[in-house]
Amino acid sequence: MAAALSKEEKKRFLKALEEDEEFRYAVAGLIGVSEILKRLDRLEANQEKLWLEVKSLRENQEKLWLEVKSLRENQEKLWIEVKGLREGQEKLWLEVKSLRENQEKMWIELKDLRVSVERLTLTVEEEGRDVIRSRLKSELNVDVTLDRIWVDSQEINIYGASGDLCVVGEATVRLVVKLLDELEEKIDYLKGRRPDLLRSRLIKVVYVDYAVPLALEKAKAKGIWVLKCSGDLTPRVIHSP
């Protein structure tokens, strides 16, 4: 560190500045250079700060680009998911369409089956009425016109009466125990609601194509005449209602 000027030295220095123009310019120049150097130092410090700011901005920019890249990747993944969902939805609609088509086909098949069953049932009923009427006429000498009747909500598909004899029965492709119970219930219903349709003698009959053994046993026990075109499956019994 330079030593401080004495009072005398300061006076001589100031006098030299006043009297010596060249010295005065030299001092001024020295002072100017010093200011310039100070300013350069400040500029250099500011430049360093500026570079640090630039570096920070670049780092932030890189982070920003990484974020943008990540967002793009996530967006691409999202679009892939959306595409997958759309494809899955399309497959689902195709499955639904296929199920509907199959359901429509099934309903058509069921409708055709019902028509076939109805035709078959009608055929069995018609055949049964003809066979039973013929058997009664040839064996009992009784001519009974047989037909289908409705009593309230009860359907009886074989019914006829002549004199003191009436016939109440069913016709079916396959005889099971349940149908025998239904026949008994219908007869009881006639007794309670339409006794005028019954006579002093009653034949309970079922005309079939096929009968399960258990149903034949129960029909025989209840005195129900079961027959087919080729002959009797259980004996004919005449009841007194």
Q: Which of 209, 231, 227 is nearest to 219 (CA)?
A: 227
Mean predicted lDDT score pLDDT of the chain: 85
Residue 93 has what pLDDT?
Answer: 86
Residue 33 has what pLDDT?
Answer: 61
pLDDT tens-digit series, residues 98-150 = 888 888 777 767 665 555 455 545 588 999 999 999 999 999 999 999 999 99
Q: What is the DSSP string of 126-140?
A: HHHHHHHHHHHHHHH
3-state secondary structure of 190: helix
Strand stretches in 29-175, DSSP E:
147-151, 154-162, 165-175
Spatial contact of 225 and 232, defined as CB atoms under 8 Å apart: yes
Element (H, E) at 191: helix 177-193
Residue 96 has what pLDDT?
Answer: 84
User: How does strand 147-151 pair with strand 154-162?
Assistant: antiparallel
Please report, in angstroms and rounded to a whole number, the separation of the first and last CA atoms in the chain. Answer: 148
> Which of 223-228's residues contact partners 24+ apart within 8 Å by CB, and which partners?
224/180, 224/183, 225/169, 226/175, 227/131, 227/132, 227/135
Mean pLDDT of the 20-42 span: 71
Spatial contact of 237 and 223, defined as CB atoms under 8 Å apart: yes
Residue 140 has what pLDDT?
Answer: 95
pLDDT tens-digit series, residues 73-101 = 888 888 888 888 888 888 888 888 888 88
* 193 half-sphere exposure, CB direction, 13 A CA radius: 11
Residue 45 has what pLDDT?
Answer: 79
Q: What single DSSP character describes residue 117? A: H
CA distances from 52 to 27, 43, 48, 61, 138 (A): 37, 14, 6, 14, 125
The C-alpha atoms of residue 147 and residue 129 are separated, in whole angstroms, by: 7
Structural domains in the chain, CATH included, are: 125-239 (3.40.1350)
* pLDDT: which is higher, 100 or 43: 100
Q: What percent of the chain has pLDDT over 70?
A: 89
Q: Which of 172, 174, 206 is nearest to 187 (CA)?
A: 206
Residue 6 has what pLDDT?
Answer: 78
pLDDT tens-digit series, residues 156-178 = 999 999 999 999 999 999 999 99
